[in-house]
Structure formats: structure tokens, C-alpha cells
Amino acid sequence: MDKPVRVRYAPSPTGFPHVGNIRTALFNWLFARHTGGKFIVRIEDTDTARTVPGSLEAIIGSLRWLGLDWDEGPEVGGPYGPYMQSQRLPIYQKLAEQLIAAGFAYRCFCTSERLDNMRAAQTAAKLPLGYDRHCRDLSTDERNKLEASGAPSIIRFKTPLTGRTVFQDMLRGEVAFENSGIDDYVLLKTDGFPVYHLANVIDDHLMEISHVLRAEEWLSSTPKHVMLYAALKFEAPQFAHMPLILGPDRSKLSKRHGAATLTEYRDQGYLQETMLNFLALLGWSLDDKNEIFNRQQLIDIFSLERVSRTAGIFNKDKLDWLNGMYIRTLPVEDLTDRLLPFMEKDLPAEIKRPLDINYVRQLVPLIRERIITLKDAAAYADFFFLDQLEYDSAKLIGKKMTEETTLKALKGAENKLSSLASFNTASLEDTLRHLADDLGIKTGELFNPLRVATTARDAAPPLFETMAVLGKERCLKRIIAALTKLAGN
């Protein structure tokens, strides 16, 4: 009874895809993989004026980064191609003509100037906006004359003036629109390119798409599509309109909400696993206790029935938390490999490249629970690499300490450590705890100045581990530098 599942992601290369866009791609992909159906990518490049260079690459790159593989589409081909609408123009043109012949569409010769004036008048009179159907009832004579004159024309759909158009939405149930509220919308432009509605309906049919899963912003144009399917004698697919993703101001997420594109998140150091998991949770949930899912789990458990109907705000705090979660669970080797390119790029220029991967691997366990993105690492771990640490000498002197006692503490540490044979976490802890005892100060009063001396900061990874990674030579050099700084006061 049911046709095989074939779903599509049909972006247009008019901008870099933002998270909402990719979320819809993800839901399509999950639905296909869950049901054993096909996932098709089709590029809707019918708006030549708005095409943004590089956006097609960004779309493809985003899908690949997330691991959303497609069965048919650009780069992989398929039996229903071409998958670029700009390469399918004759198909749309032929069917548009066919619609005219069958009485479902008509040629319109109105100039954009006339349309602008018409809209201005409608706005001024507070009338509903829409085409006044000037060319709908042209006499055969008038029409022939205009056609003969070679005046540019477009093709419009002849929307029924009465009646209602009803369809089922898988998430929302029955949705109905009065035809009287629907415009004689454009099917084919002057330049011979189709408008979305025409190309989309034709291709979904020719590519045998079974389910149209798209964002809610399309809900109100669905009756146009339903009428088109009927006029073309095509069977309509099933529709399901996904909830919108809103920016913090509650409006539809867009460029003006800041870093909204997927590539930006990648460049900011969010993990692919994080984004996949997070995007899945944007408008879908399993239950009240599970929310960490890997790719295979998502495929196994995804279902359209559990997609929400309510638009939701993109929760950046939660994204950060999730990314931290994934970073903490990544094996050290894996995390190191992912961190390396970010550190190579972001660490201060004076640090020698390439970085020593073994050294980085040692420090990764020390920073992994302190960073929330891969990009954080460079700023957090720079002291592991720097030759000269920059900090205010006053920072060395702790709350209850004086310059004198601090000097004594650092001097004592230098003494003990220079004669320390094995320089590891355990020996350092043992030595330094005893030193604090001997000096008659609290451990913290010794450790804090040491931390500043060796890391230049007062919030750093655990001291002994850090010093062990830095190594004896570097630590002593830094303690001496701190001593010099204090003496110079």
C-alpha cells in the first residue's frame, strides 16, 4: 500500500546553511535511514540573481561533516537526475505550457512597474496584497496582440476563485485554506526559470518523493502545491511541516542572529557528534530521560511521531554543555588529533610549529574538562608552550602572604625541586607538601604562587600534573623568573 520511502533535502544555494536548515536535512536523513528509504539531495538553484558563490560547497560540506550521506544527488548522481534544477529547465517549461493548454495557467504581461504600483495602492487602501488578475481574463485578441508584440511575459497559476483546499499534515492533521485567499502566483519567470512552487512540485513528483518534510514556513504555501499536483494530475506526497527554530528574539532564525551557520560552529570548535546530537534535539525528543545519542542510536529511535509542533529557541548554553560532554568522553588520542589543528592555528606566532604531538597528548588530559570548544584550547594551554610568561608580579603574592613570605616559598621550592631526582606528579606532591610544612605555611600558600610562577594564571589545571608535564627544567626556569620579578619590585 505504501510507496517506498524517498525523501529529499532541497536547499537553494542562496546562502550558507544555518542550523535550522541542516536540522531539516537531518530529520529527512534520519527518516530515510530509519525506514530503509532513500535520501536525495536536490539543489534548487532557480534564483540566479540571489545565488551566493560558495554556498553550494558550504551545503555539501555541512552535510558531509555531519555524515549525512545521500543516495542520489550532486556528486553521486542517480537515476532521477539531473539533481540541479538549473539543468532541468525544459521540463518545467514544457509542463507550464501544458498547464496553460489545460486551462490551469495563463500568460501574464504585466510589467514589474505596474505590479509595484498595484501593491502600493493596495497597501495604501489597506487591502489584502495580491495580483489583481489583470491578465487572467484577457480576450483572445488582446492576448494574441501582446504575444505577437514580443512583450516579456510570465506564467501564472489560475487559482480557483472559490472552494477550499484541504490536505493532511502528518504532524498537524487536517489543514484547510480558502482558495479565495490564494494568489494567482507565478509559475515561470520572464527568464524562463521556474519559481519554487512549480519546480519543487514537478521534481518531487518526477523523483518519486514519498514524504515532504520541510520547515513550517512552507505550510501556508502547501495549498498552492496541492492544487498544482492536482492540475498536473500528479499524486501528492505526504506532508509534514517541522517546527521552526527561533532566535533569542523569538523570530525565525536567520543570519542576523549571529553565528548561525553550521560551518561556523565547526570552525568555532564544536564537534560533529555534538552538532548531530544537538540538532536532533531541536524539535524532536525521545522521552524524559535520554538525550545523549550517537548517530546509530538516532537512526534507530527517530520517528516523525515524536517531532514537536512547537517552534523552539536555539539554546546556545545547552550546546556548550553538550560539546563539553562530548569533549570529555573522547579518547585522549582522538581529542588530541582534533585539537591539534586548532592549536596550530591559534597559539601565539612565536611558538614553534609544528607542535610536538606527544607533548600535546600529555597536556590534553589536563585541559579536557576545562574547555567547552576545541578553539578554547589555545587560549587555555598557551603557557605550556611559551618561553616567557607575562604576568603582574603582584599576582604571585597570595592573600595572606607578603612579598617576603612569597619569596621564601618560591626560593624553597626552587631549592627542593632542583635536587629532585624524579620529577613526576607523586614526587612533586610529596616534596611540595613537606616543603609547606617545613616553611610553616599552608599548602595553598605555597601552591598558589607556584601556580602563578609556572602558568602565569591563578586558574589552571592541577599543579603537580601541570608541573610534571612542563618538566623540571621549564619549571625551575619559571620559578627563577618569578623570583627575579619579585626582586625587581
Partner RNA sequence: GGCCCCAUCGUCUAGUGGCCUAGGACACUGGCCCUUCACGCCGGCGACUCGGGUUCGAAUCCCGAUGGGGUCACCA
C-alpha span between 23 and 373 (Å, rounded) = 21
- CB of residue 352 to RNA, shortest distance in Å: 26
Nearest to 227 by CA among 165, 273, 177, 182: 165
3-state secondary structure string, 149-201?
Answer: HCCCCEEEECCCCCCEEEEEECCCEEEEEEHHHCCCCEEECCCCCECHHHHHH
Element (H, E) at 106: strand 105-108
Nearest to 273 by CA among 304, 242, 319, 214: 319
Which residue has cell 515532504? 212
C-alpha span between 475 and 139 (Å, rounded) = 93
C-alpha span between 93 and 98 (Å, rounded) = 9
Cβ atoms of residues 76 and 70 within 8 Å:
yes
Query: Half-sphere exposure of 475 toward its Cβ, with a 13 Å CA cutoff?
Result: 26
What 8-state DSSP symbol labels residue 253? P
- CB of residue 348 to RNA, shortest distance in Å: 21
Catalytic residue set: 255
C-alpha span between 308 and 241 (Å, rounded) = 10
C-alpha span between 451 and 470 (Å, rounded) = 12
Instruction: Name 4's Cβ contacts closer than 8 Å, sequence gap at least 6.
Output: 37, 38, 210
Cβ atoms of residues 379 and 346 within 8 Å:
yes
Q: Is 199 exposed, middle or buried (0-12, 13-18, 19+ CB in 10 A)?
A: buried
Q: Name residue 482's amino acid.
A: A
C-alpha span between 489 and 483 (Å, rounded) = 10
Phi-psi region of 152 (alpha: psi -120 to 50; beta: other; left: phi over 0): beta
Query: What b/e string do you get for 278-310 counting C-beta neighbours within 10 Å, with b at 16 or more?
Result: bbbbbbbebeeeeeebebeebbebbebeebeee
Nearest to 172 by CA among 270, 302, 304, 66: 304
C-alpha span between 41 and 24 (Å, rounded) = 12
- CB of residue 360 to RNA, shortest distance in Å: 18
